[in-house]
Homo-oligomer: A and B are copies of this chain.
Amino acid sequence: MNKISLIVAFFFAVTTSFAQHKSTWIWYPGDYEVWLSNDMQNRRTERGTFFPPFWKMDSHYVLVEFNKEFDLPADEEISIYAEGKYNVKINGKMLPGAPAKVQLQKGKQKINIKVYNQTNVPALYISGKNVYTDHTWKATYEDKEWIDETGKASDQSGTTYVNAGSWNFDSGAAKPSTFRLPTRPQQAVAQGRQGKGFLVDFGKNTFGYLTFQKLVGQGKLKIYYGESKEEALAADRCETLDLLDVSLKAPTDSTLELSKAFRFVYVEPEGTVRFGQVGMLYEYLPVEDRGAFRSSDQELNRIWEVAKYTMELTSREFYIDGIKRDRWIWSGDAYQSYAMNYYLGFDAETVKRTILALRGKEPTVSHINTIMDYTFYWFLSIYDYYRYTGDKEFITAIYPRMKTLMQFCLDRRNTEGLMQGLAGDWVFIDWAEGLSKQGEVSFEQLLLCRSLETMALCAHLVGQPQDNQMYQKEAAILKDKLFAYYWNKQKNAFAHSRIAGQQTENITRYTNMFAIFFDYLNQEQRAGIKSNVLLNDEVQKITTPYMRYYELEALCELGEKDYVMKELKDYWGGMLKLGATTFWEEYNPAKKGAEHYAMYGRDFGKSLCHSWGASPIYLLGKYYLGVKPIEAGYSRYEISPYLASQEWMEGKVPTPKGEIELYVSKRKIKVISPVGTGVLKFSSKTLPRVNRGQVKHVTDHHYELLLEPGLLYEVDYTDAGK
């Protein structure tokens, strides 16, 4: 069983996200996420020059009221910490000044605290025996509490209170505005003279703050960063650099201010500047190590490990695209990070933070990241989040912002009721040469349709039956149009677009592959798409891991897991063969040498550590270990393991209540789950034997075994493949 142990006596770990009985800093929900993401996203530099995003960045409410009512069993003293000016009312009576300690009496106590802060996010922390701040406190940005000329207070029935936002700032001293990701020192693997300077190699792509031992002297210190050696040595073309003025009389251990991505660093001192070892402080988001995968195939293991490291690097304050260039939150990229995360750290907080930051605040004036498709992925991400975590509270909190964003989309439909790029709308789809964005692109209609279905599901969840019906109806109408306008019967596939009322001749992979895993097709249509599009080399190939993710997912859904396994090894294995230590933004096997590093018309424009490169984590977890929730939060789930070319594989898949652990060889399956009711689906040439439960024979070689939580199941069988 190697490093992964299948524990029999299972402990039902309660994760911090779902139940905590301690004080934590609170704020108006979404505001800290907006503030922190502004900070993070404005750290991008391009060759030393500040390079901010090009979309609207929102701001926090500067004045927030927090309140909660308590019924105290005894007198107690509470401590109050606030970020900002504040006042305190107890049972409607204002206390003098801004008290740090308050004595509360036994019985009903209503606490109202207003915090004002224009610089940072107004935030509050209270600790006491029974009175402590957490997400159950209410918050508003306008309490509308006026008085009349006699001093009588208004009723505040027009005030909207929402649950406060929080994260993990659980100490009064840990002010949210001072938050920084943790770091740890990391050494270079080589440092050698080259030209007028030194080339430093950290052995693999990494992220953090460069350090210089015993930096001393007068003059410039020129630092050129490279995700490749070629980039670090191309002083005039590398994407990031630091040009520093050094003036140090005594040797001083120094750390640079702005974090960067690099494997190689080329350092050129001028004047009398000297230094010792160049090292770094590696900066990271602490995420629990939960998902795991190991297999008899060493290349696959290496792919999974590099994908995991790629995810680690791109999981920061929020899920970012890549570590070198943008370091921004892109909704389409983040959507894939969420999915990978469900098979890795199961870090619900970072998913929520990212979803909130992407949405920003009203008014809604453009698509998320200005990209039409990225708005739609945002909707899709929310129901996915619910399916994996079962966290209905978040859906309830975000639903109003979903509604207004959907209304923004519906208001932008043309007279045909279709989405077409209006001025300022970026129709992205994929980085692909010559891909047409003209007219009404079928892919955007498909994503809107799925988004409407998502709205209907969420409306039902939060108890809005009228909304539910409305969105269902809109989705049905649009789905009919999708087939009427875009389905090409001759080609047995969806056309790429419609221009001036006419279906275009072009067939692309996007709409066709998404329609498969959206389950929009009948058997004949599925077969048509499979042979005419997905397995047809005439159709423009996908070169980004971003869309490879969906292509391979579609092929898995079509039962082509042997083919996909080969593609996984070829494509991601191909990057490894080129020396990749993290996975790339784009990979075209046809290119050679340093050609691989170019993009956007720049020699080193490509990001070599891009979150969407890490999708093997998702594909291996969902389609080979074969674990997925059927109902929210794994209350019902399915395990359909598939070895493909592997002799054996084993792994862990996180759930809200611990990890499902699984071992699969051609003769043995072992599984234990901490949660819900599962169905293990497998095929066997022989009659399987199990240590517990009843195996059900479904059809041909196919069997099912019902799994109950906390019990180790062992199946002896003879793998029959598909």
> What residues make up the interface of A, taking CB atoms closer than 8 Å to B?
35, 38-39, 42, 46-63, 85-87, 94-98, 114, 116, 118-119, 141-152, 154, 156-159, 243, 362-363, 365-366, 370, 422-426, 431-433, 599-602, 605
Contact = CB atoms under 8 A, between A and B. Distances in A.
Given A51-B87, A60-B59, A86-B50, A600 B147 contact: yes
B42 A116 contact: yes
Contact of A426 (B38, B146, B602): B146
A157 B424 CA distance: 6
A51 B97 CA distance: 10
Given A146-B54, A157-B424, A49 B87 contact: yes
B53 A38 contact: no
Could you say how many copies of this chain the assembly holds? 2
Is chain A's interface secondary structure helix, strand, loop, or mixed overall? Answer: loop
A370 B149 CA distance: 16
A45 to B, nearest CB: 9
A158 B422 contact: yes
A48 B94 CA distance: 11
The 5 nearest A-B residue pairs measured at CB: A158-B424, A151-B601, A59-B59, A158-B423, A149-B431
Contact of A85 (B42, B118, B141, B145): B42
A506 to B, nearest CB: 18
A46 B88 CA distance: 12
A94 B159 contact: no
A152 B434 CA distance: 13
Given A53-B63, A87-B50, A114-B52, A425 B158 contact: yes
A365 B142 contact: yes
Contacts of A54: 142-146
A40 B491 CA distance: 67
A148 to B, nearest CB: 8
B141 A56 contact: yes
30 contacts: A38-B118, A39-B118, A42-B63, A47-B96, A49-B87, A49-B95, A49-B96, A50-B87, A50-B98, A51-B87, A52-B63, A52-B85, A52-B114, A54-B143, A54-B145, A55-B144, A56-B63, A57-B141, A59-B118, A97-B243, A118-B119, A144-B366, A149-B431, A150-B601, A151-B605, A154-B426, A156-B424, A158-B423, A159-B424, A362-B363
